[in-house]
Amino acid sequence: MSGQRPEGWAGTPVTGAELTERYQGSVMNTFGVPARVLARGEGSTVWDVDGNRYLDLLGGIAVNSLGHAHPAIVEAVSTQLQTLGHVSNFFISEPQVRLAEKLLSLIGSDGRGRVFFANSGTEANEAAFKAARRTGRTRIIATEGSFHGRTMGALALTSKAQYREPFEPLPGDVTFVPYGDVAALEAAVDDTVAVFVVEPIQGEAGVVDAPEGYLQAAREITSRHGALLWLDEVQTGVGRTGDWFAHTASGIVPDLVTLAKGLGGGIPIGAMIALGDAATLLQPGNHGTTFGGNPVATAAALAVIETIESEGLLAHATARGDQLADGLARHPRVKAVTGRGLLRGVVLTEPRAADVQTAAYDAGLIVNAPTADRLRLAPPLVLTEDEAAQAVATLSALLDEVLA
C-alpha cells in the first residue's frame, strides 16, 4: 500500500473526519461514535482511511478467525457466489450439508445430532431458546454477567440491567445465578427447569473463566433434573480457545451449542447444534429463516474450518495465546490474564481500561475494554509469533505510560 488511499480505491478521497460526520448524519446512533474509519485489512493488520496502520488484537470481536482478506475465504465466497449465491430453505445446497456434517463431526455427535443455521449469534440463541420451550417446560436458568445477544429472546437471558431494562417486559421465567457457583446452580435447578444456558468463558463480561469442574457439575445437575444444558459458544467456539469448542476439554456432552462470531471468519453466519434427544425438539414449522444456511455463508465457514485444520491453527492459537498471556502477566499493572488460547482478558490494577484502549488506537494497536478494569484480546488465529511479541511490547509500554 502506498500513500493515503487503499489500492484500487475508486471515488473521491475521503478522510476519517469527513466519513465520521456523514456516519452521524445517516447511520442510527446505537453504538455511539466509532473512533476510526477502517479501509482495508490483511492478516492481522488493518489500515484506516487516513493511512494509519493497526495491529488488530480484536479481530472484529473474535470474528476474523483467519484475519483479514484470507485467500481461502475470498476464494470460497467468490467461487460460491459465481455458482449459486442464495436458494432459500425450500432447497438444499451442498455447502450447507457439508458444513452441518463437519460441525457434527467436530463436536463428536453420536449420529443423532442436527444443526440449525442462522445469521448471527443472537439468532442462533433464539433458535436454542425456542428449542428449550419445546421441552414443555418454560423455566430458564442463566448466569449473572451473561451476554447472549440483543433480540428480545436472547436479551431475556442477558443479565446486564442497562441492556434489559429499557425493553421490559421480556420473555419471562428466567432466573440468574452467580457464574461459576455450583451450589447456587444446584439450588436453582429443579424438575421444572427447561434449560441452563451458560458461556464456557464469559466473553462480554471481560473474559471471565469458569472454575475447574463447573461445566461437569452443570451437566450432572441438569441431567439429574431432566433439564437441558445449553452452551453459548458464540464467542468461544470454532478454535478461539485452542480447541474446536471451549467445552471440548471438559469432556461433557451438552444438549445445545450455539455458534456464530468466528464461524464465518467475517461472513455472517450462526448455528445451533442440538445433540441427542434435543435434536428433534424443533419440528417442521417450528422455526425458520430466509437467509440461514445460505450457500455463500456456509462455504465461508467450511473454508474457515478447513484452514484451521490445514494450517494447524488450534495448536497455534494455544501457543500464541500463551505467549501473549505470559508476556503480559509479568507487567506490574496487570493483576491477572484470564481466558484460553486467543480469547484473553487482561485484568488491570486500576479501572482505566478505556483510557488504555484510546491510547492503544493512537499507538496503532486495536484492543477492547469490555469493563472498567479489563482489556479483551481476541486477535485472528493467524497472529504470528512476531506480531504477538510486538503486541506484548506495545501494550506493556502503553500500560507504563497510561497507568504510570
Ligand X SMILES: *Cc1c(COP(=O)(O)O)cnc(C)c1O
Provide the Cα torsion 134, 138, 144, 146; round to 10°.
20
289 annotated to bind ligand: yes
Could you confirm whether 147 is annotated as catalytic? yes
| Residues of the shown chain interacting with ligand X in the complex, contacts defined by CB under 6 A | 120-122, 125, 147-149, 199, 203-204, 232, 234-235, 260-261
CB 261 within 8 A of CB 154: no
258, 357 in Cβ contact below 8 A? Answer: no
Give the C-alpha distances (Å, rounded to integers) separating 3 from 12, 338, 362.
15, 39, 19
User: What is the nearest approach in angstroms of ligand X to the Cβ of residue 84?
Assistant: 25
Residue 241 known to bind ligand? no
Whether 160 sits among the annotated catalytic residues: the reply is: no
**In this structure, which amino acid lies at residue 366?**
I
Consult the annotation and say whether 240 binds a ligand.
no
Main-chain phi, psi angles of 14, to 5 degrees = -125, 155
The residue among 47 and 147 lying less far from ligand X, judged by its C-beta, is: 147
Closest-by-Cβ residue to ligand X is 121
Q: 31 or 90, CB closer to ligand X?
A: 31
CA angle 244, 217, 211 (to 5 degrees): 70
150 is in an annotated binding site: yes
* Distance between CA atoms of residues 371 and 369, nearest Å: 6
User: Known binder of ligand: residue 165?
Assistant: no
Q: Which residue stretches of 189-282 are H helix?
A: 214-224
Selected catalytic residue, list 147, 196, 243, 245: 147
Q: Report whether 265 contacts 287 (CB < 8 A).
A: no
Is 130 catalytic? The answer is: no
- Closest distance to ligand X from the beta carbon of 23 (Å): 20
The annotation status of 290 as a binding-site residue, yes or no, is yes
C-alpha cell at 349: 490494577
**Taking each helix axis from N to C terminus, what angle separates 313-329 and 385-402, rounded to the nearest 10 degrees?**
30
Give me the DSSP letters along 345-390.
EEEESSS-HHHHHHHHHHTTEE-EEEETTEEEE---TT--HHHHHH
Which of 56, 204 has the CB closer to ligand X? 204
Q: Is 74 annotated as a binding residue?
A: no
Q: Which is nearer to ligand X, 139 or 261 (CB)?
A: 261
Sign of CA dihedral 17, 43, 308, 96: positive
Any known ligand binding at 147? yes
C-beta closer to ligand X: residue 203 or 321: 203
Nearer to ligand X among residue 254 and residue 327 (C-beta): 254
Shortest Å distance, C-beta 191 to ligand X? 27
Catalytic residue among 232, 243, 245, 255: 232
Which cell goes with 159?
Answer: 443479565
* 3-state DSSP assignment of residue 45: strand
User: Could you give the CA distance from residue 299 to residue 386 in angstroms, rounded to a whole number?
Assistant: 31
For the CB of residue 116, give the shortest distance to ligand X in the complex, in Å: 15
Catalytic residues: 147, 232, 261
Residues of each annotated binding site for N(2)-acetyl-L-ornithine = 150, 289
